[in-house]
């Protein structure tokens, strides 16, 4: 195993006019605009569903449209989704939407802040002018959900991040759940766990935008949290999931690939936060990633999709270089694997002893 790799540049290039949406841009008085879902409309315009926090501290979701996805935003003067009288599930706020297009319809998975805690609400809309609720995925607490845009064996699939009580000392994991009808969810499996060491994704992990299909696998951008003396740092890393069995992690980046650096990411209501929630694949092979900066504004950055895929394979948490091949640890923390999956670790040692990663047997 050789962990040395050429010094890699920034995978993401920030738009020079960032932040692209600020509270001052809003047609009504707000505190903050951040963590938007993103998609393309039927005529190719970019649609963002932006989390807007009003000055009472409660969030709702408002649509903004732009022909190039960067400038000339038209912002609706009223919310699409907002807490409403008599609805328990998002009484204290509608937050952090992700958007998945399937056929002619758009599915919105957002965090409803209920009096019992956060939960995942699925809604559907044909046009972002009206919507209908599909389901509450599970009782609280649950957050950071994104729907795959195709089915697996006839079933829909959702990545999300349930939170357990914490009494067992485990940090929350990203889970995969399936549904025949977008209402009943089951067959739950853990896909990405926080790591145990002092790494950037130690305290929490959570899905960013919905998974993006590539020829090599489902590309996942997820946030990781590290607690510091100055507060929590929210950064983003990459994972690649098997195209047909998305519970299988093909690769997971050891390093974060996008973190708070720009002034608008370091100053705001919650300094030190980049929180990607939407992305749009472009025809030129790049992806535009929309994210909340410091829980205050919306910003966008660009990356080449093939570079992100390569990075997930070649800078993997397992410490072996396995381009185009599945991670021998299934993307798990080597510290965990040492306790829980010594068989997998044995494979890793074999590779270190000369069985080359590219020539070795696929661990299956």
Positions touching ligand BMA (CB under 6 A) are: 35, 95-96, 234, 270, 273, 275, 292, 295
Closest approach, Cβ 95 to ligand BMA, in A, equals 5
Q: Which is nearer to ligand BMA, 93 or 328 (CB)?
A: 93
Dihedral sign (CA 146, 199, 51, 266): negative
Q: Which is nearer to ligand BMA, 233 or 238 (CB)?
A: 233
- Write the CB contacts of 184 (distance below 8 Å, at least 6 apart in sequence): 135
- Runs of H (alpha helix) within the chain: 263-266, 305-314, 334-340, 342-352
Residue 152 is given by DSSP the state: B
Q: Which is nearer to ligand BMA, 37 or 334 (CB)?
A: 37
The candidate with the shortest Cα–Cα distance to 123, out of 111, 107, 100, is 107
Decide if 329 contacts 339 (C-beta within 8 A): no
Q: Which is nearer to ligand BMA, 50 or 344 (CB)?
A: 50
Closest approach, Cβ 203 to ligand BMA, in A, equals 10
Decide if 240 contacts 257 (C-beta within 8 A): no
Q: Which is nearer to ligand BMA, 130 or 165 (CB)?
A: 165
Query: Dihedral angle at the C-alpha atoms of 306, 307, 312, 317, nearest 10 degrees?
Result: 170
Residue 211 is given by DSSP the state: P
Phi/psi at 229 (5° precision): -65, -25
Closest approach, Cβ 38 to ligand BMA, in A, equals 16
Closest approach, Cβ 59 to ligand BMA, in A, equals 8
The candidate with the shortest Cα–Cα distance to 247, out of 167, 330, 137, 126, is 330
Q: Which is nearer to ligand BMA, 123 or 309 (CB)?
A: 123
Helix (H) or strand (E) holding 153, with range, is none
Phi/psi at 318 (5° precision): -70, -15
Closest approach, Cβ 277 to ligand BMA, in A, equals 9
The token pair at 187 is 């067959």
Three-class SS of 228-256: ECCEEEEEEEEEEECCCCCCCEEEEECCC
Q: Which is nearer to ligand BMA, 95 or 193 (CB)?
A: 95
Closest approach, Cβ 239 to ligand BMA, in A, equals 19
Largest CA distance in the chain: 65
Closest approach, Cβ 58 to ligand BMA, in A, equals 13
Q: Which is nearer to ligand BMA, 90 or 95 (CB)?
A: 95
Closest approach, Cβ 174 to ligand BMA, in A, equals 14
Q: Which is nearer to ligand BMA, 256 or 275 (CB)?
A: 275
Q: Taking the CB of residue 239, how many other CB atoms lie within 10 A of it? A: 27
Closest approach, Cβ 276 to ligand BMA, in A, equals 10
Closest approach, Cβ 144 to ligand BMA, in A, equals 8
- Residue given tokens 């000055």 in the structure block: 55
Decide if 313 contacts 250 (C-beta within 8 A): yes
Q: Which is nearer to ligand BMA, 128 or 275 (CB)?
A: 275
Q: What is d(CA 319, CA 1) in angstroms, rounded to the nearest whole number? A: 7
């Amino acid at each position: 195993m050789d962990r040395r790799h050429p010094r890699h540049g920034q995978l993401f290039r920030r738009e020079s006019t960032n932040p692209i949406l600020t509270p001052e841009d809003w047609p009504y008085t707000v505190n903050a605009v951040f963590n938007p879902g993103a998609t393309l409309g039927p005529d190719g315009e970019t649609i963002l569903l932006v989390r807007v926090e009003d000055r009472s501290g409660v969030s709702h979701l408002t649509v903004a449209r732009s022909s190039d996805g960067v400038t000339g935003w038209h912002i609706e003067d009223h919310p699409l989704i907002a807490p409403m009288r008599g609805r328990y599930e998002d009484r204290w706020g509608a937050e952090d939407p992700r958007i998945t297009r399937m056929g002619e319809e758009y599915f919105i998975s957002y965090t409803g802040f209920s009096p019992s805690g956060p939960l995942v609400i699925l809604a559907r809309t044909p046009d972002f002018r009206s919507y209908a609720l599909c389901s509450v995925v599970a009782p609280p607490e649950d957050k950071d959900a994104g729907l795959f845009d195709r089915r697996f064996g006839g079933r829909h699939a959702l990545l999300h991040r349930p939170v357990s009580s914490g009494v067992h000392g485990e940090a929350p994991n990203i889970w995969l759940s399936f549904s025949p009808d977008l209402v009943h969810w089951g067959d739950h499996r853990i896909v990405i766990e926080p790591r145990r060491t002092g790494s950037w994704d130690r305290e929490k992990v959570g899905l960013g935008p919905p998974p993006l299909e590539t020829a090599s696998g489902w590309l996942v951008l997820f946030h990781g949290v590290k607690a510091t003396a100055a507060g929590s740092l929210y950064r983003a890393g990459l994972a690649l999931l098997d195209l047909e069995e998305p519970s299988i992690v093909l690769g997971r980046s050891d390093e974060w690939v996008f973190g708070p650096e720009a002034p608008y990411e370091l100053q705001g209501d919650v300094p030190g936060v980049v929180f990607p929630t939407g992305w749009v694949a472009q025809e030129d092979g790049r992806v535009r990633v929309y994210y909340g900066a410091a829980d205050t504004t919306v910003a966008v950055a660009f990356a080449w999709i093939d570079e992100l895929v390569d990075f997930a394979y070649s800078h993997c948490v397992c410490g072996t270089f396995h381009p185009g091949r599945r991670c021998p640890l299934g993307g798990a923390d080597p510290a965990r694997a040492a306790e829980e999956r010594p068989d997998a670790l044995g494979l890793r040692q074999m590779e270190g002893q000369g069985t080359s990663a590219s020539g070795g047997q696929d661990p299956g």
